[in-house]
Structure 1
Amino acid sequence: MYISHLSLVDFRSYETVDLELGPGVTTMVGPNGQGKTNLVEAVGYLATLGSHRVASDAALVRSGAERAVVRARVVRGDRAQTVELEVNPGRSNRARINRGALGRARDVLGIVRTVLFAPEDLALVKGEPDGRRRFLDQLSVLLVPRSAALLVDYDRVLRQRNALLRSASAGRRRGGRGPSGPPPEGDPLATLDVWDARLASLGAQVLALRAEIVAGLAPYVAAAYDEVSAGQGAAEIRYRSTSDEALADPGVRDGAREPEEASAVGLEARLLEALVSVRERELERGVTLVGPHRDDVVLTLAGLPAKGYASHGESWSFALALRLASYRVMTDGVPEDLVLLSGAADWGADGEPILVLDDVFAELDARRRERLARMVADGGQVLITAAVAEDVPAGLDGAQIQVSTGRAERVDD
């Protein structure tokens, strides 16, 4: 897979830009703040409907413009498709495939697949759990595009349940009612069981898919870390759930699942039981305390938590290993011995994704630069940004695009 043409209208710093791209390595060079990252951010947005830099779409639209458009021609084998996204802050984004009618943005998911390395990746190791959850969820959308709807549904139910908990908590404080006894007529608690069931049903599907992805990543993370660091420590990854230790069974964590012990129905039942067990604490705080939205991915190095124990260089090696492992899973597919609890039978190998390295080499020492370069040099399409061309190892020679003040032009022709 590769993008042969990228066009932007009112995206970030670009009023308009049209770029011819091709397979192999392309390096985008220019001083910081000139728009290099904006170009690869647009590619990533086509793949995930999200930015690796900001949470809000408003920042993606050029100042003074009402909307932005990202358009790309995507080549896979002997087939080419044109995909277009219209970014409308405050309104629904829309998408078009092959100049057809505008439709839902998520209809384009799966057409472009990327693995993006960025300086922000260090937070995957050193940062808070929300970044690691987002890493898994973005990867799940790339592997199973229909999971985007699942994540949206779970988030909607979570917000509604939290609103219900806040309302019930405020009502208790006003009325002085204790935890015992049935809720009076009109009490928000009367519908809490219904929301518990909805959250448990959707949450179990998220849990199952995340656990499968972690199990699939684990051997690749270990191998990639070993290669990047030249064998300096064993890297491990596992999923940690808050839902009453729903995934604490080693058979679940490591992918050797027994259906009787770790079925999708079992995950739903455990999550529902956990919600019931913490209800009083939730009513005190007015927030949902268990579920995928509070889970974490545990990263260990030589048996110790990477966060807090790993050096800066080791943390970078671990972050690189997570991205390289994502690339391998997307390229090779689900391990044959991994039993799918989520029912996501459609996830697996779907062609080599586009590799994006956004200003990563400037963050690495010479040894890690060279090792990473060797590991990605044979990628079908590799897009690199760098402030100076000298930051990019010689093994990644290829086409070059000069970026300056909202302009991007090829200089290698």
Structure 2
Amino acid sequence: MHVTHLSLADFRSYARAEVALEPGVTAFVGPNGQGKTNLVEAVGYLATLGSHRVAADAPLVRSGAERAFVRAAVSQGERSQLIELEINPGRSNRARINRSSQVRPRDVLGIVRTVLFAPEDLALVKGDPGERRRFLDELLTARHPRMAGVRSDYERVLKQRNTLLKSAALARRHGGRTLDLSTLDIWDQHLARAGAELLAHRLDLIATLQPLADKAYEQLAPGGGPVLLEYKASAPGAAHSREDLYGQLLEALAEVRKQEIERGVTLVGPHRDDLVLRLGELPAKGYASHGESWSYALALRLASYDLLRAEPWGAEEAPAPDGRRAGEPILVLDDVFAELDGRRRERLAEHVAPGEQVLVTAAVEEDVPELLRGARYAVSGGTVERV
């Protein structure tokens, strides 16, 4: 699977951009601040409905414009599809597939799969738990597009439950009437059901990813590991099946209900969990050097890439209802090589060069290893030209 044409309108710095792409390696080269990352960010948005740089959609729309458009022609074997996303900050986004009647944006998930490594990924090792939860859940959705619905259901229930808890907390603090919390048991069940589904998939993902991450780190930094991925749940227990996880979550929610009512927030569930990254016997966060942290973050992305490449038809047992099946992911390396020494550059290049489509950004041509010298685009002043 690869993108054959990318079209942008009012996306980031581009009033308009049309870029023809092909299989293999494509590098976007130009000084910083000229729009290289905007191009690969758009490809990533098609795959995840989110940006690796910002949490909200508003910064993705060019200043002065009301909305932005991202379109891509995607080739998979003998089949071609056109994906169109309309980004409307503050309102619902819109999507089309093959110019058909409007579909839900999440219906495009699974058509394009990407693995993107960027300087922001250092936060996977050094940042807050939310960064690592996002990493897990985006990879989950790449493997199982239907998980977008599970995540949405969980977030909806969590929001409703937090609203009820917040109202109860405010009533207590201000000496008002006691709220009827009889519905909290129902919300507990909904939260535990959706949470158990999400947890089961996260645990399975980590077990699958673990040996791949360890192998990738050894390739990048021989003798520097091993690496260990350890899931730290807010609801303690050893359950792995969905039903057992459901019971474990319900029990944990019951135990913290008093504190939740006092604080007005849900204290247990996948939204409070963490992925602990260990290097040897120590947690990488706080102990790994800058270089080790970079290698660890890159190893996680390479492990994700290897996992999705090993599942070229996706992890689902059956294709999507419309017959779609995922293909090999597009690998995006956004301004990565400037942060790596020569040895790591070459090892990374050897690992990814055989990929069906690899998109690279670099400030200077010399940063791109010889193995990845494929098609070239010069990016400057809002223009993208093939060289």
Scaled by the length of structure 2, the TM-score of the pair is 0.95
| Residues 235 and 383 of structure 1: CA distance in aligned 2, closer, same or farther (over 3 Å) | same
Q: Distance in 1 between matches of 2:317 and 2:285?
A: 34
Q: Distance in 2 between matches of 1:363 and 1:356?
A: 15
Q: Which residue in 2 is equivalent to 1:284?
A: 262
Q: Distance in 2 between matches of 1:327 and 1:77?
A: 19
- In the TM superposition, residue 190 of structure 1 has moved relative to its aligned partner by 2.3
Q: Which residue in 2 is equivalent to 1:241?
A: 233
1:224 maps to which of 216, 222, 227 = 216
- In the TM superposition, residue 170 of structure 1 has moved relative to its aligned partner by 1.6
Q: Which residue in 1 is equivalent to 2:281?
A: 303
1:199 maps to which of 174, 188, 191 = 191
**Residue type matched to 2:230 in 1?**
R
- In the TM superposition, residue 283 of structure 1 has moved relative to its aligned partner by 1.5
2:363 is equivalent to residue 371 of structure 1: no
Q: Distance in 2 between matches of 1:89 and 1:176?
A: 38
Q: Distance in 1 between matches of 2:246 and 2:183?
A: 19
Aligned counterparts, 1:7-406, within 5 A: 7-175=7-175, 187-243=179-235, 245-246=236-237, 249=238, 262-333=240-311, 345=317, 350-406=326-382
Deviation readout 1:349-373 (Å, 9 max, x if unpaired): 9431100000011111222111111
8 Å Cα contact 1:41/1:51 also seen in 2 = yes
Deviation readout 1:252-274 (Å, 9 max, x if unpaired): xxxxxxxxx63211100110110
8 Å Cα contact 2:122/2:293 also seen in 1 = yes
8 Å Cα contact 2:97/2:108 also seen in 1 = yes
**Residue type matched to 1:46 in 2?**
L
**Residue type matched to 1:389 in 2?**
E
Q: Distance in 2 between matches of 1:262 and 1:234?
A: 25
Deviation readout 1:179-203 (Å, 9 max, x if unpaired): xxxxx6xx24222111111111111
| Residues 175 and 5 of structure 1: CA distance in aligned 2, closer, same or farther (over 3 Å) | same
Count of aligned residue pairs for this structure pair: 381
8 Å Cα contact 1:218/1:238 also seen in 2 = no
| Residues 97 and 176 of structure 1: CA distance in aligned 2, closer, same or farther (over 3 Å) | closer
State the Cα RMSD in Å.
1.8
Q: Distance in 1 between matches of 2:5 and 2:380?
A: 19
What residue ranges of structure 2 are gaps of 5+ in the alignment?
320-324
Q: Distance in 2 between matches of 1:235 and 1:188?
A: 48
Scaled by the length of structure 1, the TM-score of the pair is 0.89
Q: Distance in 2 between matches of 1:353 and 1:81?
A: 16
Q: Which residue in 2 is equivalent to 1:256?
A: none
Q: Distance in 1 between matches of 2:67 and 2:385?
A: 24
- In the TM superposition, residue 174 of structure 1 has moved relative to its aligned partner by 3.0
8 Å Cα contact 1:215/1:238 also seen in 2 = no
8 Å Cα contact 1:218/1:236 also seen in 2 = yes
Q: Distance in 2 between matches of 1:37 and 1:346?
A: 35
8 Å Cα contact 1:167/1:188 also seen in 2 = no
Q: Distance in 1 between matches of 2:318 and 2:340?
A: 36
Q: Distance in 1 between matches of 2:225 and 2:173?
A: 53
- In the TM superposition, residue 300 of structure 1 has moved relative to its aligned partner by 0.6
Secondary structure in 1 matching 2:66? coil
8 Å Cα contact 1:356/1:382 also seen in 2 = yes
Q: Which residue in 1 is equivalent to 2:322?
A: none
Q: Distance in 2 between matches of 1:401 and 1:192?
A: 56
Q: Distance in 2 between matches of 1:78 and 1:233?
A: 42
| Residues 266 and 119 of structure 1: CA distance in aligned 2, closer, same or farther (over 3 Å) | same
Q: Distance in 2 between matches of 1:332 and 1:25?
A: 20
Secondary structure in 2 matching 1:352? coil
Deviation readout 1:64-101 (Å, 9 max, x if unpaired): 11111111111111111111111111111111111111
- In the TM superposition, residue 329 of structure 1 has moved relative to its aligned partner by 1.1
- In the TM superposition, residue 176 of structure 1 has moved relative to its aligned partner by 7.9
Q: Which residue in 2 is equivalent to 1:337?
A: none
**Residue type matched to 2:116 in 1?**
L
Deviation readout 1:24-46 (Å, 9 max, x if unpaired): 11000111111000000000000
- In the TM superposition, residue 157 of structure 1 has moved relative to its aligned partner by 1.1
What residue ranges of structure 1 are gaps of 5+ in the alignment?
178-183, 250-260, 335-339
8 Å Cα contact 1:7/1:72 also seen in 2 = yes
Q: Distance in 2 between matches of 1:367 and 1:114?
A: 25
8 Å Cα contact 1:153/1:202 also seen in 2 = yes
8 Å Cα contact 1:144/1:346 also seen in 2 = no
- In the TM superposition, residue 389 of structure 1 has moved relative to its aligned partner by 0.8
Q: Distance in 1 between matches of 2:50 and 2:136?
A: 14
